[in-house]
Amino acid sequence: MMSPLLEKLIHALRVLPGVGPKSAQRMAFHLLARNRQGGKAIAQALEEAMIHIQHCEECRTFSETPRCAICLHPNRDRHLLCIVETPADMIAIEQTGYKGLYFLLLGHLSPLDGIGPQEIGLDILNRRLQKDSFQEIIIATNPTVEGEATAHYLLQLATQYKIPCSRIAHGVPFGDVLEYIDTRTLGFAMASRAQCLEVE
């Protein structure tokens, strides 16, 4: 029988995504048996992060200051706004060389789960669209049923302010072979195909 503190540690580790009972137990045993200093460092970092990391008041990404470094950066294109679902999506877009601003939904519309416009910050986005002069909104939600429904809602919102919208392309990944692409992905690629340049 395990000690109460050990059980408490294992239970706490299970809040992490993808960590089941066995994985949590293995992590707890490892920290206690081989890396107590590492465990203390994790505990300290977690406590500091939970206390000091909030959300940027403009884009809603994680930030220790009222406005994040991207929103404060003087060289960002302040007329371009990319809307993504998660901080991980923002990092992925950032790695492409994109130099505009962001808005993070921190989720997507899902009425069955009780997630409506307010739960994903669309009231905050609405206020931002009222005060800022964007020349284009890039909708970069995920190609899922919920992501597509969210993109449709965002398009309607942007239309109210007469802001041109674009949607990131979904389709065949570079280097893949058509016969191995799933039907849904290939369907997206066909529906969003682009005009080729004419050969002179």
Q: What percent of the chain has pLDDT over 70?
A: 96
Question: Given this model, what pLDDT does residue 178 score?
Answer: 77
Torsion-angle region of residue 105: left (phi > 0), alpha (psi -120 to 50) or beta? alpha
Gap between the terminal Cα atoms of the chain: 79
Q: What is the average per-residue pLDDT within 153-167?
A: 93
Domain with residues 76-167, CATH architecture: 3-Layer(aba) Sandwich (3.40)
Which residue in 46, 38, 41 sits closest to 16, CA to CA? Answer: 46
d(C-alpha 100, C-alpha 139), whole Å:
13
pLDDT at 181: 83
Give the start-end residues of each E strand in 12-144: 54-55, 62-63, 77-84, 100-104, 136-139
pLDDT at 78: 96
- Range(s) within the chain of domains with CATH label 1.10.8.420: 4-52
What's the mean pLDDT in 88-104? 95
Comma-separated ranges of CATH 3.40.1360.10 domains in the chain: 76-167
pLDDT at 180 over 90: no
Q: Which of 32-46, 71-85, 130-144 is predicted with the least confidence, judged by mean pLDDT?
A: 130-144
Whether the Cβ atoms of residue 111 and residue 169 lie closer than 8 Å to each other? no
Q: What pLDDT is stored for residue 196 in this prediction?
A: 64
**147 neighbors 86 (Cβ within 8 angstroms):** no
- The per-residue pLDDT for 139 is 95
The stretch 11-38 carries a mean pLDDT of: 97
Task: Considering the domain delimited by 4-52, tell me its CATH architecture.
Answer: Orthogonal Bundle (1.10)
CA gap 128, 83 in Å, rounded:
12
Residue-averaged pLDDT of the chain: 92
What pLDDT score does 137 carry?
Answer: 96
**What's the whole-number mean pLDDT along residues 56-83?**
97
pLDDT at 199 over 60: no
